[in-house]
Structure 1
Amino acid sequence: MDNFVRLNFLGASGVVTGSKFFVETSEKNILIDCGMFQGLKELRELNWVNLPIDVGTIDVVLLTHGHLDHVGYLPRLLKQGFTGKIIGTAPTLSIAEIILIDSAKIHEEEAKKANKEKYSKHNPALPFYTKIEAEETIKQFQVEIPDKWIVLSEHISYRFQYNGHIIGATFIELDINGKRFVFSGDIGRQNDYLLDDPKKPEWADYLFIESTYGNKLHPNEDVEDILSTLIKETIHKKGNLIIPSFAVERLQTLMYLLWKLYKKNKIPNIPIFVDSPMGNNVLEVFKRFPKWHKLSDSDYNAMCNHINIIQSYKETWETIDNKRSKIVIAGSGMVTGGRVLTYLQQLIDEPSTTVLLVGFQAEGTRGRLLQEGAHEIRFFGKYYPVKAQIKTIESLSAHADQNDLLNWMSSIKNIPEKVFLIHGEPTALDAFRVKIKDTFNWSVTIPKLTDIEKLLL
C-alpha cells in the first residue's frame, strides 16, 4: 500500500454546516458524512454545485449521525455517480431515512409553491431532490454496530463509538496503515437529559474535531425555572409560546422537560402541541431503540400521552385558530422551513406571542435574525413585522461547549500529529485553536472549504 492519505475538505471547513470529508487512499476511498450546507445564501448555493471530486470513485460513506447537515446531500451524491454502501448505526440510519424523506417532501412542496406564487427567480423552481431520489438513497443503507472494528480492506478498518448528541450518534475511528484518524462528528454533552455521556477516543494520530461552541461555555441556566416563568407569562398574556425546534433530540427533550414540569406542579395543565411530522417519526425511533437513551418505557409513554401530537396540516390550522393560550413546538429549529413558519406567519406580529429559540442559530438563518433583534422577518416572499417577544435558552444545546470538547479530548494518550478544527464559525475556530494550543500544546490546523491535504504515513 502507498503510504499516503489525501484529505479533501468538502464541507464543515471554516463553516458549521455541510459536513463532508473525503479520504483517498490506494485501497479504498471513504466519505465521512455527506451533509447539506445551511444558513448563508452563498453556502446554500454550494449545495447545487457538483462536488469537485470523482464521486464514482467513493467506495463507502460512513455517517457519524443523522442530522441534515451530515446526511442531507446523499441523494445528490447518488445523482453524481455514487453506487456504494452508506453505513451507520441502526438509529442513525433510521433518523437519516426520516430526515431525507421529510426534507424531500419539503423541497417538492417549496418548489411547487414557488412556481405557483412566482416568488422564485428560477423558472421553474426545482426541488433539491425528490422523494423518489431519497427512497433510492435509502436502499444503499447498511447498519453496523458500535464498538466493533469493521475491516474495509487489507490495511483499513473503522469503528463507531457512542457520542451522545442525538440518538445513534457516534464518532468514527478510521485505522489506515496503522495510523488512526478520528472524526468527532458532533459531540454531545455531559449529563444530558435523555442521552448517556459521550465515550472518548484514547488514541488519535489525526484528529478532526468539531468546534461549534469552541469559543463558548453554555450558561449555567435553570432551564426548568426559565420555562415555567415563560409559560406563566404566556398564560397571563393570553398568548402563545412558540418553540422552533430541531425534530431530532431537541423536540423529545422539550417534551420530557414540559411533562416533568407538569408532574412537579411547576406549570399548570396548559395545552402543548407538537407539530413536526418528522419529530413524530423520531419519537418512534426512541421507542425502537431503548438502549440508546435514558428514558424508561413508562416515562416515554407518560410523556407522549401528555402532549397533543398534530397529525395533519388541517390540525395545524385548527391549533392556530384555537384562541386558548398554548405551547407549540414545531420544526425547524433555525426557522429555515417546516411547520413553524405557518405559526410565525400568523402570530409573530402579536405582542402576546413569545418565540423561544432553544438551539444554535447558524449565520444567515431566520432564527439568527430573530435572535439578533430583526424588526421584520420574511416568509414565502413577504415581510412580517416582529412584535412577538424573542427569548433564547442556550443551555439546551445538544453540542458540547468548550469545556466538554476539551474533556472529550483529554483521554487521548498520544500527541496527535495534526488536529483539524472543523464545524465552526471563524471566531469559534480561532478561539478553540488557541485554547487547544494552551491546554495540550498540540499542532492545530483550520482547513478551509475545498482544501486538500496530503499526509505521508
Structure 2
Amino acid sequence: MHIHFLGAADTVTGSKHLVDTGSHRILLDCGLFQGYKNLRERNWSRLAVSARHIDTVVLSHAHLDHSGYLPALVKQGFHGRVFATPATCDLAEVLLLDSAHLQEEDARRANLYGYSKHTPAEPLYTVEDARRALNRLHPLPFGEEIELHPEVTVKYTPAGHLLGAAAVTLRCQGRTIVYSGDLGRHNDLLMPPPEPVHEADVLLVESTYGNRLHPADDVLKLLGDLIRTCLQRGGSVLMPTFAVGRAQALMLALHRLKRAGEIPAQVPIFLDSPMAAEATQLYERHQALLRVPPEEVAHLCDGVTLVDSPQASEALTRSHYPRIVLSASGMATGGRVLHHLKVMAPHPKNLIVFPGFQVGGSRGAKMIAGATEVKIHGEYVPVKAEVRHLEGFSGHADAGELMDWLRHFRKPPRHTYVVHGEPEAADALRTRIKEDLGWRVSVPDHLARIELD
C-alpha cells in the first residue's frame, strides 16, 4: 500500500492524493493548481498516474483547488465513481460548470484579441466535460460508512470551512487513513467548528495557515470602518469574493453592519456573480449545516441587488455613485470582477477589499503586496485605489486551531503528512507537530510516492 502525492504537496493548491491499496486506487480530492504560472502549467500535464487506472475519487469539498480538475480527469479517461457529501455535490455542479464556462470564455477572448502564446488557445476542459464529470457524482452523507472495494471503506466527518466540507476516513486492509481536507475555524460566521476525528494510522493534514494566527481584531467592525471611510470620500467598495462560502459570509456581515447602523442602510449593495446567487440558494437549502439562525439565512439577500446578466454587469461598471460590489473571483484570477477592477483600481477614492487567503502569484496576492499595476486582459491597469486585506474572513483554521484539532487524536498516528500549504507554512506546522505533540511527521515532496509500512 502506498500514497502518491500528485498535488498540494509543495504548495497550497491542486490537492490530489492517490491511495493505492494494491487492488484499488482512491484519489483523495481532484483539484486545480492555481496561482503562480509554473503551478498553473501543471494542470496541462498529464497525471503521473493514468486516469484510467484510478478507481474512485473522494472529494473533501467543492472548492476548485480540491475539485476543479475532475472534468480534466474524466476527459483523460477516468470512468469510476466520485463520492462527495450531498451539499458538496450540489456546490460542485455550480462550481465546475462555471469553471468550464470561464475557461471556454478565456480561450475565446485570447483567440479574439491574440494575447495567448498558443494558436489556437484552448480550454483545459469544456462545459460538456464538466457535465460528464458531474454525472459520476455519488452523494455520501456525513457519518455513513460505505464499502468502495472489499476491505476498503470511506466515511465523512464534518470539517466546517465550507458547506458540505468533510474530513475523510479510509479503512484499508485493517489500516485507517485520515485526510483532513480543509479545516474550518472555531468562530466562523457561517459554519460550525470542525468535528474531531479520534484515530488514524496515517494522517494527511492541511497547513494553509500553518504558520500564522488569524488577527484578533473584530473583523466586522474593521470592515464597517473601512466602508464608512470610503463612502464618506465619495468612493465605491469592491470586494473580490469566492462565490461559494465567502460571498454568503460577506452578505451576512453587511446585513449585520447595516442592522447595527455601522454602515448606511441606504448604500446599494450589488452581488455581481450568478454563481454566488446560485450558491446562496444552496446555502438556504442546506441551512441545517450552518450555525446561522434560519431567519437570518432567509434575509441574506435583503438589500442586495443580484446582477444576473453581462449587460447589467457592464452597466454597473459604468455607474459612478457610491456602492458596494461583491464579484467573483476571490483572488481576482478571472470572471466579472476583472471588469470592475479595470474601472475602479485607477481611482484613489475607491476601496478594494480582499477578504481571505490569497494564493501566491494571483492578482489578489500581488495587489495586497503593494503592486502599482496589474495585468488584466492583456493590458496593464494602474492600482491607485486603497487596497486592504482582511484575513479575518478566511474560512481556514489557523495554526492554533489546526493544533487543537490534532489534539483530539487519542494516540499519535504512525505517521502524519503535512500537505496543502506553502512551503513555509507546511514546515512551520510540521515543526510544531513534532515539538508540541512528539509525533512522527514530514512534508512530502510533489509527486512523492511513499510506501506505508
SS in 2 for 1:209: strand
- Please give the alpha-carbon distance, in whole angstroms, between the structure 2 residues aligned to 1:339 and 1:61: 31
Of 106, 109, 115, which aligns to 2:111? 115
- Please give the alpha-carbon distance, in whole angstroms, between the structure 1 residues aligned to 2:381 and 2:73: 37
Corresponding residue of 1:437: 434
Of 256, 261, 278, which aligns to 1:281? 278
Of 226, 232, 236, which aligns to 1:240? 236
Corresponding residue of 1:262: 258
SS in 2 for 1:370: helix
Corresponding residue of 1:171: 167
Code of the residue aligned with 1:101 in structure 2: it is L
Corresponding residue of 2:303: 306
- Please give the alpha-carbon distance, in whole angstroms, between the structure 2 residues aligned to 1:164 and 1:430: 24
- Please give the alpha-carbon distance, in whole angstroms, between the structure 2 residues aligned to 1:287 and 1:275: 19
- Please give the alpha-carbon distance, in whole angstroms, between the structure 1 residues aligned to 2:407 and 2:387: 37
TM-score by length of 1: 0.97
Corresponding residue of 1:418: 415
Corresponding residue of 1:353: 350
For the pair 1:446 / 2:440, whether they are aligned, the reply is no
1:380-395 map, 5 Å: 380-395=377-392
1:2-39 Cα offsets, whole Å, 9 max, x none, are xxx11110000010000001111123110110000000
Corresponding residue of 1:220: 216
CA contact (8 A) 2:75 2:125 kept: no
Code of the residue aligned with 1:45 in structure 2: it is E
For the pair 1:332 / 2:338, whether they are aligned, the reply is no
- Please give the alpha-carbon distance, in whole angstroms, between the structure 2 residues aligned to 1:122 and 1:56: 28
Deviation of 1:303 after TM superposition, in Å, equals 2.2
- Please give the alpha-carbon distance, in whole angstroms, between the structure 2 residues aligned to 1:110 and 1:26: 41
Corresponding residue of 1:205: 201
1:120-155 Cα offsets, whole Å, 9 max, x none, are 010000011111111111111111111121112221
- Which 4+ runs in 1 deviate beyond 4 A? none
Deviation of 1:288 after TM superposition, in Å, equals 1.4
Deviation of 1:373 after TM superposition, in Å, equals 0.3
SS in 2 for 1:47: helix
1:135-214 map, 5 Å: 135-214=131-210
CA contact (8 A) 2:162 2:245 kept: yes
Q: Which stretch shows the higher mean deviation, 147-156 or 297-306? A: 297-306
Code of the residue aligned with 1:310 in structure 2: it is V
Give 5+ residue unaligned stretches, structure 2. Answer: none
For the pair 1:249 / 2:251, whether they are aligned, the reply is no
For the pair 1:78 / 2:109, whether they are aligned, the reply is no
TM-score by length of 2: 0.98
- Please give the alpha-carbon distance, in whole angstroms, between the structure 1 residues aligned to 2:431 and 2:297: 42
Q: Which stretch shows the higher mean deviation, 225-234 or 421-430? A: 225-234
Code of the residue aligned with 2:413 in structure 1: it is P
CA contact (8 A) 2:287 2:297 kept: no
Aligned Cα RMSD in Å? 1.0
Give 5+ residue unaligned stretches, structure 1. Answer: none
- Please give the alpha-carbon distance, in whole angstroms, between the structure 1 residues aligned to 2:210 and 2:190: 23
Q: Which stretch shows the higher mean deviation, 392-401 or 310-319? A: 310-319
Aligned residues: 452
Deviation of 1:298 after TM superposition, in Å, equals 2.4
